[in-house]
Chains A and B, each alone.
Chain A
């Protein structure tokens, strides 16, 4: 390694959700400091949940994060239902899954096009793309609108949905409207997603060819590509029931971050689209697999920058499954059901696990006999990824020095690395309870 002094400090990294700094210090070619600092102010959600009623938990935890609000509601509702022995109907589950499909598409488009793609296209933001490639911005907005319209319709609104509550939906969709959404997905959304695939393919060489072996963790469900629920699977082998999530996450506090770090079988693990794809590739839809093949994305892929591509693949997968789900829901017809407004309970503990766009999310609540929370724990995908990001940086920085990359290029590759994880820092400092 050549002798090298380097000091990179990216204060409040842009185009990520929340506040974080990249800090790299190299002296005489030796890496002294190399990590991603989380500087978001702590938010104390677990303490806020104490004493709150079963019908309020999802309203509160949804506010952990605007982008992931659908996922937080799903994990929260599943935890509450498990704790209070509340069984949702098949219709409710089908509608929740459809809401997740739409939310995942919207979040992935937002991340790939607005937050990550500007790096690959060499512009500082998607706003700058308006002059350079107006068409791309226009179709990005159009496709996101379509996914958001479906969320708005099912959930009452896309950010912090209203209708999705423990035990069911406060307002149900109509078959005729759902059929219209299916047509829009088929005729408009899927062609646009293919167009994105073309655009991203044209700049694919701008994503660094970095790899590092690590453990990939995602939910697994025998019936389908797991997003709504499943058991915990790892590319290092083994499947655990969701209730045993603490054996996987092992959260610990590190001095450079208000967000906690996680590790399982190695010093770190990765969650998110790439981890899901690495664990459940065979369950992807046919077209989604074709997109993956085009980019040479096969399991187990160990390039974290490929998470952007995995998101694109998942967007196609979710669009296709959403169409199939709508067909199924419409064939059965919508049954008029109402969620319970009052509950009798003996109390108890329940765990909810959902794949949100950024990875597997766990909510764990204990309720007393009046239906109020006595203890809560939330484990956020971005926290699970932080240790992995640090480990990636520790391998990437010496490699970049070896390749004699210019400092601005190194900085760009580090920023792109963190962005590839699609971190959600507001989420990550929500914060979690210490046991």
Chain B
């Protein structure tokens, strides 16, 4: 990105909880400072005026309907740089839990005989539909991570990609290992960058940033098995956020 004039930024929401956008409005201390460097030109959740002339598009949410598919193509055509923001957008996240379940059955459970009234697809990460230039992982993304990303992007650097597991973040924080306390934790196979947010609060990592590249899934299965988890519970742990990658892209 050039640094001369203000970068025009747009936010678009697809299928998700919109917590990622909220995370951004919740950076109260930094928000006014950020606005000195960027112009937010399209952000439906917060503003009525909207422009389709932008440099960077942040995408929140999964692609899960035909209208989503059309809208993401339009955004990709117009944007110089597309960023997948949050788990739904980058890895399909919670929305993908239903991947691998019988889709008709899922629809019947919720809408019964009206299930064909609403056009709906299995949820996809954005990069399965259009090219994505960068990713901000997390459910929700850590504001510090978002700020670091924005700083790198605005200063013309390529945003750094984290390729090590949450355990590294946890060790840096000098946390006691939850596994050693008998609490099954997905830290060893989950992409870091969150600062071991959950383990630092004595809560097991549930893998919201997706699997780290080359995760040793079999070893993880064994560890969870030793923790007396049933096969179904182990699969559920993997499928909470990474169902798309464990079910579709094995």
A residues with CB within 8 A of B: 12, 14-19, 39-44, 46-48, 50-53, 56, 59-60, 63-67, 69, 110, 114-115, 118, 124-128, 130, 137-138, 141-142, 144-145, 148, 156-160, 162-163, 165, 170-171, 253, 255, 258, 341, 370, 372, 426, 431-434
List of A residues within 8 angstroms of B15 by Cβ: 40-41, 43
Question: Chain B 43-54 against A: per-residue CB contact (8 Å), 1 yes, 0 no?
Answer: 111111110000
Q: Are B49 and A125 in contact, with the CB atoms below 8 A?
A: yes
State in angstroms the CA–CA spacing of A63 and B206 once bound together.
13
Q: Is B120 an interface residue (CB 8 A)?
A: yes
Given contacts A41-B120, A157-B140, contact A59 B240 (CB under 8 A): yes
The list of the 9 closest CB pairs from A to B, nearest first, reads A66-B19, A125-B47, A434-B112, A145-B28, A156-B201, A124-B48, A170-B202, A141-B28, A47-B106
For A142, give its contact among B28, B48, B101 (CB under 8 Å).
Answer: B28
For A127, give its contact among B40, B93, B106, B109 (CB under 8 Å).
Answer: B40
Q: Are A159 and B19 in contact, with the CB atoms below 8 A?
A: yes
Majority-rule SS of A interface residues = loop
Q: Is B68 an interface residue (CB 8 A)?
A: yes
Q: Is B155 an interface residue (CB 8 A)?
A: no
Given contacts A14-B44, A60-B97, A127-B40, contact A160 B110 (CB under 8 A): no
For A160, give its contact among B109, B140, B182 (CB under 8 Å).
Answer: B140
For B139, give its contact among A18, A19, A63, A138 (CB under 8 Å).
Answer: A63
Q: Are B182 and A159 in contact, with the CB atoms below 8 A?
A: no
List of A residues within 8 angstroms of B230 by Cβ: 370
List of B residues within 8 angstroms of A14 by Cβ: 44-45, 47-48, 50
CB-nearest residue of chain A to B94: A63
Count the A-B residue pairs with Cβ separation under 8 angstroms: how many?
Answer: 176
Given contacts A145-B29, A162-B197, contact A41 B68 (CB under 8 A): yes
Q: Measured between C-beta atoms, what is the minimum distance from A140 to chain B in Å?
A: 9
Q: Are B236 and A56 in contact, with the CB atoms below 8 A?
A: yes
Q: Are B202 and A171 in contact, with the CB atoms below 8 A?
A: yes
State in angstroms the CA–CA spacing of A374 and B63 once bound together.
28
Question: Chain B 208-244 against A: per-residue CB contact (8 Å), 1 yes, 0 no?
Answer: 0000000000000000000000101100100010000
Q: Is B31 an interface residue (CB 8 A)?
A: yes
List of B residues within 8 angstroms of A65 by Cβ: 17-19
Q: Measured between C-beta atoms, what is the minimum distance from A220 to chain B in Å?
A: 29
CB-nearest residue of chain B to A253: B114
Q: Are A69 and B17 in contact, with the CB atoms below 8 A?
A: yes
Q: Are A53 and B233 in contact, with the CB atoms below 8 A?
A: yes
Q: Measured between C-beta atoms, what is the minimum distance from A388 to chain B in Å?
A: 22
Q: Are B117 and A433 in contact, with the CB atoms below 8 A?
A: no
Q: How large is the interface on B (under 10, 10 to 19, 20 to 34, 35 or more residues)?
A: 35 or more
B residues with CB within 8 A of A: 13-23, 25-26, 28-29, 31-32, 35, 40, 43-50, 64-65, 67-68, 93-95, 97-98, 101, 105-107, 109-112, 114, 117-118, 120, 139-140, 182-183, 197-198, 200-203, 206, 230, 232-233, 236, 240
Given contacts A158-B26, A162-B197, contact A126 B110 (CB under 8 A): no
List of B residues within 8 angstroms of A253 by Cβ: 111-112, 114, 117
List of A residues within 8 angstroms of B93 by Cβ: 63
List of A residues within 8 angstroms of B111 by Cβ: 42, 253, 431, 434
Q: Are B26 and A426 in contact, with the CB atoms below 8 A?
A: no
Q: Are A255 and B97 in contact, with the CB atoms below 8 A?
A: no
State in angstroms the CA–CA spacing of A144 and B26 once bound together.
8
List of A residues within 8 angstroms of B182 by Cβ: 341
Q: Measured between C-beta atoms, what is the minimum distance from A192 to chain B in Å?
A: 12
CB-nearest residue of chain B to A50: B109
Q: Are A163 and B202 in contact, with the CB atoms below 8 A?
A: yes
Known pairs A67-B19, A432-B110. 5 more at Cβ < 8 A?
A: A16-B45, A51-B232, A114-B46, A156-B201, A159-B22
State in angstroms the CA–CA spacing of A241 and B243 once bound together.
38
Q: Are B109 and A433 in contact, with the CB atoms below 8 A?
A: yes
Q: Are B17 and A63 in contact, with the CB atoms below 8 A?
A: yes
Given contacts A14-B44, A124-B49, contact A426 B16 (CB under 8 A): yes
Q: Are B46 and A115 in contact, with the CB atoms below 8 A?
A: yes
Given contacts A431-B111, A434-B110, contact A160 B19 (CB under 8 A): yes
State in angstroms the CA–CA spacing of A300 and B67 once bound together.
42
List of B residues within 8 angstroms of A66 by Cβ: 17-23, 140
State in angstroms the CA–CA spacing of A15 and B240 once bound together.
30
State in angstroms the CA–CA spacing of A115 and B43 once bound together.
12
Q: Are B64 and A163 in contact, with the CB atoms below 8 A?
A: no
For A64, give its contact among B17, B48, B198 (CB under 8 Å).
Answer: B17
Q: Measured between C-beta atoms, what is the minimum distance from A301 to chain B in Å?
A: 27
CB-nearest residue of chain A to B240: A56
List of B residues within 8 angstroms of A165 by Cβ: 203
Q: Measured between C-beta atoms, what is the minimum distance from A385 to chain B in Å?
A: 18
Given contacts A145-B28, A157-B197, contact A48 B17 (CB under 8 A): no
List of B residues within 8 angstroms of A431 by Cβ: 110-111
State in angstroms the CA–CA spacing of A67 and B17 once bound together.
8
State in angstroms the CA–CA spacing of A390 and B182 once bound together.
52
CB-nearest residue of chain A to B50: A14
CB-nearest residue of chain B to A255: B117
CB-nearest residue of chain A to B64: A41
List of A residues within 8 angstroms of B20 by Cβ: 66
Q: Are B109 and A47 in contact, with the CB atoms below 8 A?
A: yes
State in angstroms the CA–CA spacing of A433 and B68 once bound together.
24
Q: Are A48 and B94 in contact, with the CB atoms below 8 A?
A: yes
Given contacts A59-B240, A110-B25, A118-B48, contact A162 B110 (CB under 8 A): no
Q: Are B203 and A156 in contact, with the CB atoms below 8 A?
A: yes
Q: Measured between C-beta atoms, what is the minimum distance from A162 to chain B in Å?
A: 4
For B201, give its contact among A124, A163, A426 (CB under 8 Å).
Answer: A163
Q: Measured between C-beta atoms, what is the minimum distance from A20 to chain B in Å?
A: 11
Please name 16 pairs of A and B residues whose Cβ atoms are closer than 8 Å in the assembled complex, sorted by A: A14-B48, A41-B14, A41-B64, A41-B68, A42-B120, A46-B109, A56-B206, A56-B236, A66-B23, A128-B47, A141-B29, A142-B28, A145-B28, A156-B201, A159-B22, A433-B110
List of B residues within 8 angstroms of A114 by Cβ: 25, 46
List of B residues within 8 angstroms of A137 by Cβ: 32
